[in-house]
Amino acid sequence: MPVPILKQGPYLVASIQDALSDREVLELQENLLKQIGEVRASGIIVDVTAMDVIDSFASRSLRTVALTTRLRGAEMVIVGIQPDVAFAMVQFGLLMDDVNTALDLEEGLEFLDSWIAGRTFDDEE
């Protein structure tokens, strides 16, 4: 089942519903990168609360979307990384230093709102 991507205001919200196979991770990556241009979104939120595991493949794919999104002039934030999943990522050595993360959807939205506010401010300088 493909990951649903909803438009919420200026943002795209992808809510992962279940454990993803590698193919589904790649589909999500492709769909997000396609839609960000189509709907002219300023930001992407990827909710990974339901992900059982974030391994090297999933983290590399998510990081690719985040950095590509940034090159397109938008920003991405990953929300909902579970405590045990975060612990495993650190033990593994999967660090996503250059990727934004937030606790949950609400904080993710706040993050993007303040990012947009900051961006507008910079433009006016």
Partner 1 sequence: MRNEVLVAITSDRDVVLARQTGRSMATELGLSKSEATLLATAISEVARNIVEYVGNGQILLCIVNLNGMEGIKVVASDSGPGIENVEMALQDGQSSGGRLGLGLPGARRLMDEFHMVSEIGEGTTVTMTKWKGPRRG
Dig out the tokens for 26 from the structure: 């790649």
CB of 65 to partner 1, least distance (A): 16
Interacting span for partner 1 (CB under 8 A) from 4-12, 19-27, 35-43, 65-73: 19-27
HSE, side-chain direction, 13 A CA sphere, residue 72: 22
Pattern of binders to partner 1 over 47-66, x per CB under 8 A? Answer: -----xxxxxx--x------
The answer to whether residue 88 forms part of the interface with partner 1 (CB under 8 A) is yes
The answer to whether residue 22 forms part of the interface with partner 1 (CB under 8 A) is yes
Is residue 30 classed as helix, strand or coil in its secondary structure?
helix
Alpha-carbon separation of residue 105 from 12, 31, 78, 83, 86 (angstroms): 12, 20, 9, 16, 17
The answer to whether residue 84 forms part of the interface with partner 1 (CB under 8 A) is yes
CB of 56 to partner 1, least distance (A): 4
Q: Detail the DSSP E strand segments found in the chain.
A: 5-8, 11-15, 43-47, 75-79, 100-102
Of the two residues 6 and 92, which places its CB atom closer to partner 1 in the complex?
A: 92
Residue with tokens 């590509």: 68
99 closest CA partner among 2, 89, 25:
89
The answer to whether residue 23 forms part of the interface with partner 1 (CB under 8 A) is yes
The answer to whether residue 120 forms part of the interface with partner 1 (CB under 8 A) is no
Residues that bind partner 1 (CB under 8 A): 19-23, 52-57, 60, 82-85, 87-88, 91-94
